[in-house]
């Protein structure tokens, strides 16, 4: 399918009822000044329109950037601008996030593997892909690298290391919570203005700069017809998953990774302490043979928003070693 250009104000048709949202590309509306301007298009993947962002020279072998839960491809802009070389780069909004179409049913984690599998055929037809993912995107990248090792040339996970082992005794309560949420779905946020959302982001993460918070607010949300600002993600993403996370299955996939792999951790991560002993260097190296691990000591979980220069340096060094190997 040939790419279709996404025009400012356009949104792929959605299957659920939602407040109509007017989108803008906001390139000149925020204080953050882009060093590398993005290009936008849409691609179909398994019947859903996915918003795609590209930077750098055209290529059939770009580095693929995969965003985390409730984030969007657009906020990789800070990382892209911090890279020293003009790499060909591509990112897309996962189904139900940003400017990609909402799912017609619920959201199941294996769907992300299938969407990525299809999109790579179009985005990286030259051969195995170089994957860089943050949080949920990093988890998808690592799992996919073990599921489809022949399709991955190298993989970098930024704070994507799985979840703690689940307790099966919680299963009845989890199903009960899921059933209740189906009756009364939890909403995503609505705000008076983009500034209000940006101020909330700064309160939650004081390591952000004001200009980056303003940029993220306009990436995550859009103005409604009533003049308020609403997060564009599908509220169905907030439903608790009725199936418990199975870390043994994740580790079985990780053990099949053949590509060089880098895990970048944050010294002030809000997520890593949840793993306990399984969040140590030794545990990661046991679970993912050959993994290279780096830690940015003063960064939090959203490290690519907080310290894009440091993250870019680690990514670029890793990619360059792969190019010369």
Query: What does the angle CA 189 – CA 190 – CA 192 come to, to the nearest 5 degrees?
Result: 140
Greatest mean pLDDT among 114-118, 186-190, 239-243 lies in: 114-118
The CATH code for residues 21-324 is: 3.40.50.1820
Kindly give, in sequence order, each residue whose CB lies less than 8 Å from that of residue 171, ignoring residues fewer than 6 positions away.
244
Per-residue pLDDT of 210-243, as tens digits, reads 999 999 999 999 999 899 999 999 999 999 988 8
Selection from 72, 73, 149 nearest residue 64 by Cα? 73
Flag whether pLDDT at 273 surpasses 70.
yes
Alpha-carbon distance 300 to 298, whole Å? 7
Whether the Cβ atoms of residue 125 and residue 60 lie closer than 8 Å to each other: yes
How do beta strands 292-296 and 261-266 pair?
parallel
Per-residue pLDDT of 15-72, as tens digits, reads 343 333 333 444 444 589 999 999 999 999 999 999 999 999 999 999 999 999 999 9
> According to the model, what pLDDT value does residue 215 have?
96
CA distance readout (Å), 13 to 101, 189, 274: 7, 21, 38
Selection from 262, 249, 310, 305 nearest residue 68 by Cα? 305
DSSP, collapsed to helix, strand or coil, labels residue 41 as strand
CA distance readout (Å), 86 to 73, 124, 292: 18, 17, 24
DSSP conformation class of 4: B
Average pLDDT of the segment spanning 257-281 = 96
DSSP, collapsed to helix, strand or coil, labels residue 22 as strand
> According to the model, what pLDDT value does residue 319 have?
97
Alpha helices in the chain (DSSP H): 77-82, 109-123, 136-147, 171-183, 194-204, 210-220, 247-254, 281-287, 303-306, 308-324
């Amino acid at each position: 399918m040939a790419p279709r250009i996404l025009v400012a104000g356009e949104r792929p048709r959605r299957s659920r009822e939602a407040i109509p949202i007017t989108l803008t590309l906001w390139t000149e509306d925020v204080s953050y000044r882009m060093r590398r301007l993005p290009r936008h298009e849409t691609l179909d993947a398994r019947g859903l329109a996915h918003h795609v962002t590209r930077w750098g020279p055209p290529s059939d072998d770009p580095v693929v950037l995969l965003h985390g839960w409730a984030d969007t491809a657009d906020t990789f802009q800070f990382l892209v601008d911090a890279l020293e070389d003009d790499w060909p780069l591509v990112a897309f909004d996962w189904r139900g996030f940003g400017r990609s179409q909402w799912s017609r049913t619920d959201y199941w984690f294996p769907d992300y593997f299938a969407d990525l599998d299809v999109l790579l055929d179009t985005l990286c037809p030259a051969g195995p892909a170089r994957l860089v993912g943050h949080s949920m995107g990093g988890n998808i990248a690592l799992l996919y690298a073990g599921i489809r090792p022949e399709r991955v040339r190298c993989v970098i996970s930024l704070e994507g290391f799985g979840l703690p082992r689940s307790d099966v005794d919680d299963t009845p309560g989890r199903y009960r919570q899921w059933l209740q949420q189906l009756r009364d779905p939890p909403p995503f946020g609505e705000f008076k203005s983009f500034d209000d959302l940006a101020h909330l982001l700064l309160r939650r993460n004081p390591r952000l700069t004001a200009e980056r918070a303003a940029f993220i607010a306009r990436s995550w949300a859009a103005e409604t017809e009533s003049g308020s600002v609403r997060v564009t993600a599908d509220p169905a993403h907030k439903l608790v998953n009725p199936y418990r996370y199975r870390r043994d299955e994740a580790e079985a996939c990780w053990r099949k990774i053949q590509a060089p792999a880098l895990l970048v951790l944050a010294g002030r991560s809000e997520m890593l302490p949840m793993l306990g002993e399984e969040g140590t260097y030794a545990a990661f190296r046991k679970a993912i043979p050959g993994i290279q691990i780096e830690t940015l000591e003063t960064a939090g979980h959203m490290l690519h928003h907080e310290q894009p220069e440091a993250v870019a340096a680690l990514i670029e060094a890793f990619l360059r070693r792969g190019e010369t190997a």
